Structure 1
Amino acid sequence: MEKPGLVWFVTGCSSGLGKSIVSTAYDAGHRIIATARNPAALSYLPDGPNVLKLTLDVTLKDSITQSLSAAVKKFGRIDVVVNNAGYAVMGDTESIAESDARLQVETLFWGPVFVTQEAVRIFRDINPKEQGGTLIQISSIGGLVTFPGSAFYHASKFALTGFTESFAKEMNPAWNIKFMVVSPGGIKTSFGSNIALGVRHPAYDTAESPLNQLMAYMGEPAIQETFSSPDQCARVLFDAVVAQEQRPLPRRLLMGAETIPLLEADLRISKEEMQTWKEETMQCSKGSI
């Protein structure tokens, strides 16, 4: 049976997966704090006692603390925090402007870091004793495997996964604070329109360019039709959160049929390389090679 009345704080709710998550929670009778850089984009949500709509820029630490404080003031606690806000910088790594690269990392890594730190404090010190809370990071299959042209996106997502898994191991079990990293593949959202394509470097902007081949492949309508539904992904996430007493949260949750073969292929290459270089690896523990 679903546990009613959880308080959800979700970033990046203007569209896509964030919109689906808060809509799913609201429809199930839960209370939600929906955030966006432009709160006018949250008009799809009804006004009422179970809904709080807030402006949030995850690149500004003051904006993060103010929005979480407003959420606690409204509902008295927060049970679930979902770090979902994001976009992608795509292009040739040599030519991406430093300012664009830094903003990508600020948005996809440092923003969720500050939200997570503040959320843990609320779960431990403000929520009823030992009630704890659940922290969900919306990462990507791109936080586990890489593709050409998204070096700073991948760097941010890999960093977020490492940060989350390390921070989770610091938790006192008595606090009852849970973490989960969600790694979707392609989702039918407006995320594609939120990709910032940098100025191309002439050395890479060629017919044989791996990035150009990837962009052509991803642009195929037939490929986009294989992407996951944001509503279905939101439902899987919601069900995982509310059913924790029966089935503990996974450390990482893949979403989308393509994610499993992509990760399996990457792990297979790593295993083959590990075996190929095993002798040299073991020699390092015996002194110089």
Structure 2
Amino acid sequence: MTSSKVWFITGSSSGFGRSMTEYALSRGDIVVATLRKPQVLTDLEARYSSDKLLVLKVDVTKQEDIDEAFARTRSAFGRLDVVFNNAGYGILTEIESTPDDKARELFETNFWGATNISRAAVKFFREVNEVGKGGIILQVSSAAGFHALPGLSYYAASKHALEGFSDGLAKELPASWNINVCIIEPGGFYTKGAEGATVLPQHPAYADESLPSSVLRQMLKGVVFEGDADKFTQTVYEVVQGGKIPKRLPMGLDALEMLNLRIEDLKATVDETKGWSADLRRAEGGLRIRA
């Protein structure tokens, strides 16, 4: 029988966060559920004892909340195995109609919140857990993290940034620390996340119904995505239990289709532009950086 794990989950109030909280608890694991409104989880607190569920008020845009949450985790359980870095939201509108403050607020949560949670997780895994035990960081990105959609550009940008950060972080971590970073890239799943997206007025220059952002607006009105959020979290849980953690985990056939489109586009770019790079080396030579 697999021993129980301690999970630290952000954005536990709804969607993937709530689903993962419920499923991990149902499998006998311990969950530190963090969210801005702890009262949302009173039903779970009534069902699970404090040695199984710790609910904490955390706004991921506030470093003091993050620090306190990891300190409480250490005090309560003395270890941590998995961080499900899930808190985030979207903005639907064109770039030109997105106020700077709204775009910056989005990045504070989706990028800075997620990266600051990641930094705290790495430190905990290295300095609190037993030496070499490590841990797993599950970065909940999106298919938009590699395939931007019109009208969701700032959301896509925040996820692109998170993916770049996560890729770099994974390459910085020494193998001896045994810390795995997995970028999860869901396609369309039915959660309250779509309902919680901020929808801003359309820029008048893009009002033509045939334009891509207008088409997306119409498509998203009342949309019910076919992806099952509970099946998503159960699958992610099984990946964690399996022990072989992939660097990327696209989720859903639509996500795989978008990833294939992205791969084809990148291959086409290489073929179309490689001639421009054929003779760009310095005559004296130099250092070439390889991945």
- The one-letter code sitting in structure 2 at the alignment partner of 1:235 is Q
Out of 200, 216, 219, the residue aligned to residue 218 of structure 2 is 216
The aligned residue for residue 260 of structure 2 is 264
- The one-letter code sitting in structure 2 at the alignment partner of 1:262 is M
Greater shift in the superposed pair: 53-62 or 212-221: 212-221
CA deviations 1:234-261 (Å, max 9, x no partner) are 01110111111xxx21110011111111
Do 1:185 and 1:256's aligned partners in 2 also have CA atoms closer than 8 Å? yes
CA deviations 1:37-76 (Å, max 9, x no partner) are 0001112312402110011101111111111111111111
Do 2:93 and 2:202's aligned partners in 1 also have CA atoms closer than 8 Å? yes
The aligned residue for residue 255 of structure 1 is 251
- After TM superposition, the score normalised by the length of structure 1 is 0.93
Greater shift in the superposed pair: 212-221 or 131-140: 212-221
Do 2:189 and 2:225's aligned partners in 1 also have CA atoms closer than 8 Å? no
The CA distance in 2 between the partners of 1:44 and 1:13, in whole Å, is: 13
C-alpha displacement at 1:4, in angstroms? 2.1
Greater shift in the superposed pair: 102-111 or 275-284: 275-284
The aligned residue for residue 40 of structure 1 is 39
What are the residue-to-residue correspondences of 1:86-105 with 2, within 5 Å? 86-105=88-107
Do 2:142 and 2:159's aligned partners in 1 also have CA atoms closer than 8 Å? yes
Out of 116, 119, 128, the residue aligned to residue 118 of structure 2 is 116
The CA distance in 2 between the partners of 1:225 and 1:132, in whole Å, is: 36
C-alpha displacement at 1:220, in angstroms? 6.1
The CA distance in 2 between the partners of 1:201 and 1:170, in whole Å, is: 42
- After TM superposition, the score normalised by the length of structure 2 is 0.93
SS for the counterpart of 1:193 is coil
- The one-letter code sitting in structure 1 at the alignment partner of 2:249 is L
- 1:70 and 2:66 are equivalent in the alignment: no
Do 1:8 and 1:31's aligned partners in 2 also have CA atoms closer than 8 Å? yes
CA deviations 1:127-163 (Å, max 9, x no partner) are 1111111111000001111100112111110111111
- The one-letter code sitting in structure 1 at the alignment partner of 2:202 is R
Greater shift in the superposed pair: 205-214 or 122-131: 205-214
CA deviations 1:97-131 (Å, max 9, x no partner) are 11100000010000011111111010000011111
The CA distance in 1 between the partners of 2:158 and 2:71, in whole Å, is: 26
C-alpha displacement at 1:201, in angstroms? 1.1
Percentage identity across paired residues of the two chains = 33
The aligned residue for residue 242 of structure 1 is 241
The CA distance in 2 between the partners of 1:133 and 1:12, in whole Å, is: 20
- The one-letter code sitting in structure 2 at the alignment partner of 1:276 is E
The aligned residue for residue 170 of structure 1 is 172
The aligned residue for residue 200 of structure 1 is 202
The aligned residue for residue 289 of structure 2 is none
Unaligned runs of 5+ in 2: 284-291
C-alpha displacement at 1:192, in angstroms? 1.2
The CA distance in 2 between the partners of 1:97 and 1:40, in whole Å, is: 31
Greater shift in the superposed pair: 202-211 or 8-17: 202-211
Do 1:36 and 1:42's aligned partners in 2 also have CA atoms closer than 8 Å? no
SS for the counterpart of 1:258 is helix
Q: CA RMSD in A?
A: 1.4
The aligned residue for residue 85 of structure 1 is 87
Greater shift in the superposed pair: 38-47 or 116-125: 38-47
The aligned residue for residue 233 of structure 1 is 232
- The one-letter code sitting in structure 2 at the alignment partner of 1:15 is S
The CA distance in 2 between the partners of 1:5 and 1:29, in whole Å, is: 6
The CA distance in 2 between the partners of 1:184 and 1:69, in whole Å, is: 30
Do 2:80 and 2:125's aligned partners in 1 also have CA atoms closer than 8 Å? yes
What are the residue-to-residue correspondences of 1:22-33 with 2, within 5 Å? 22-33=21-32
- The one-letter code sitting in structure 2 at the alignment partner of 1:92 is E
C-alpha displacement at 1:168, in angstroms? 1.1
- 1:191 and 2:193 are equivalent in the alignment: yes
SS for the counterpart of 2:167 is helix
C-alpha displacement at 1:279, in angstroms? 1.0
Do 1:14 and 1:41's aligned partners in 2 also have CA atoms closer than 8 Å? yes
SS for the counterpart of 1:284 is coil
